[in-house]
Structure 1
Amino acid sequence: MIPEPPVYRIPKQSGAGFTLKRGEVLAVIDPQGEQVSDLMAFAADTPSEWLSSGRTFDYNETISLTTGHVLYSNRSRPMFTLLRDDVGQHDFLLTPCSTETFEILYPPGTADGHPSCFSNLLRAFEPFGIQPDQIPTTLNIFMNVVVGEGGRLRIGPPRSTAGQRLELRAEMDLIVGLTACSAEGSNNGSFGPIDYQIRPPAQEVQRS
């Protein structure tokens, strides 16, 4: 029997960086519920190729991404395929929260020493030589962004409950950054950890 791969925990308001081989499956798990996770990926051999929200929306012809959809790079190559989606609500419109996010949207005083997904992604990618200006819009897993009348955006509480997951198969070798989101407004006013697991191709069968 093949042993179950380990589950790693990203503490609240922090991040992690790691690599994925083509065919490996990344499971992003919300262990407690109502916690967003920002994901960004770069081609391992060419960090100037990154996960693109625009290309992904173009080729899937939808902004509502779920099981079966393919996520594309800025060079129009498949980076991930979504294999399992327990929640069905994610965001690929908004950028990772940053110091400027808190200064502009949530004044006064929230920026001083406040963790952010952008800063956590910078730390996660630092060993791989990824620079700040290379980090674009992230896939905000479990984030509940509602598009209202006139295109107005509203952030609601995440719909994820404890133990729910999104599983993504890598379609190329990747460098990945993953966070437990630091923005109060994205996580219904509280913060929790994010778990992740990397499974080899032989274990990619969906689980109940």
Structure 2
Amino acid sequence: MTESPTLYRIPPQSGAGFTLKRGDVLVVIDAWGEQVSDLMAFAADERGEWLSSGRTFDYNETIYLTTGHVLYSNRSRPMFTLLRDDVGRHDFLLTPCSTETFEILYPPGTADGHPSCFSNLVQALAPYGIQPDQIPTTLNIFMNVVVDESGRVRIAPPISTAGQQLHLRAEMDLIVGLTACSAEGSNGGTFKPIDYHVIPAGTPQ
């Protein structure tokens, strides 16, 4: 009998760091609905190789990533394959929210010590030797970014509902950072947890 994988919960406005082996499947779950999760990944054996939005858009020829698409590194190697997508809308255009995001876009900014996805990723990835300047554009899971005909982007509430999932198979050994997003505008005005678990490579699904 196969044991169920351990379910982890990322509290609102926080993050987690962990590793994946090639073939492991990362399952990201919107526990309560309308909650974004920022994901960043690095090659476990070479911290200079990371998840690249530009390469991913180039090779998939779309900005709307879903089941069957491959996510590439800055060195053009596959890092993840999307195996299951319950929502069908994620963002890979915008960078993780940071202190500067709140100061520039959402005054009065961080006077109240507002947490951010960038700072949470920095903290989660620091034990693996990842420096802040190595964290580029993240895959913003469940984030609903609308692009109009002029190219202007608008952040709308996520369309994800409670329990919906994204499954990503690791195509190499990885270091991963994952958050429960800290930006009010990205999450329908509230902050909620993100759940995840890992299905080990070779496990029947």
TM-score (norm 2): 0.98
Q: Which residue number in structure 1 is paired with residue 164 of structure 2?
A: 164
- Kindly report the root-mean-square deviation, in angstroms, between the aligned alpha carbons of the 2 structures: 0.9
Q: CA deviation at 1:55?
A: 0.1
Structure 1 Cα separation of the partners of residues 46 and 141 of structure 2: 24
* 2:174 is aligned with 1:174: yes
SS of equivalent residue, structure 1 residue 49? strand
SS of equivalent residue, structure 2 residue 108? coil
Is the Cα contact below 8 Å between 1:99 and 1:111 reproduced in 2? no
Q: How does 1:88-127 map to 2 (within 5 A)?
A: 88-127=88-127
Q: How does 1:7-156 map to 2 (within 5 A)?
A: 7-156=7-156
Q: CA deviation at 1:111?
A: 4.7
Is the Cα contact below 8 Å between 1:25 and 1:170 reproduced in 2? yes
Q: Deviations over 1:39-89 (max 9, x none)?
A: 000000000000000000000000000000000000000000000000000
Is the Cα contact below 8 Å between 1:40 and 1:139 reproduced in 2? yes
Structure 1 Cα separation of the partners of residues 160 and 101 of structure 2: 24
Aligned residues: 205
Structure 1 Cα separation of the partners of residues 43 and 130 of structure 2: 11
Is the Cα contact below 8 Å between 2:96 and 2:117 reproduced in 1? yes
Is the Cα contact below 8 Å between 2:51 and 2:72 reproduced in 1? yes
More displaced stretch, 102-111 vs 139-148: 102-111
Is the Cα contact below 8 Å between 2:92 and 2:139 reproduced in 1? yes
Sequence identity percentage: 81
Structure 1 Cα separation of the partners of residues 144 and 130 of structure 2: 28
Amino acid at match of 1:161: T
* Closer, same or farther: CA 204–182 of 1 in aligned 2, 3 Å: farther
Is the Cα contact below 8 Å between 2:99 and 2:109 reproduced in 1? no
SS of equivalent residue, structure 2 residue 165? strand
Is the Cα contact below 8 Å between 2:21 and 2:201 reproduced in 1? no
Structure 2 Cα separation of the partners of residues 112 and 138 of structure 1: 25
Structure 1 Cα separation of the partners of residues 73 and 138 of structure 2: 12
SS of equivalent residue, structure 2 residue 198? strand
SS of equivalent residue, structure 1 residue 149? coil
Q: CA deviation at 1:132?
A: 0.5
* Closer, same or farther: CA 98–111 of 1 in aligned 2, 3 Å: farther
Is the Cα contact below 8 Å between 2:21 and 2:172 reproduced in 1? yes
Structure 1 Cα separation of the partners of residues 9 and 109 of structure 2: 29
Q: Deviations over 1:19-48 (max 9, x none)?
A: 000000000000100000000000000000
Structure 1 Cα separation of the partners of residues 42 and 111 of structure 2: 28
SS of equivalent residue, structure 2 residue 88? coil
SS of equivalent residue, structure 2 residue 4? coil
More displaced stretch, 18-27 vs 102-111: 102-111
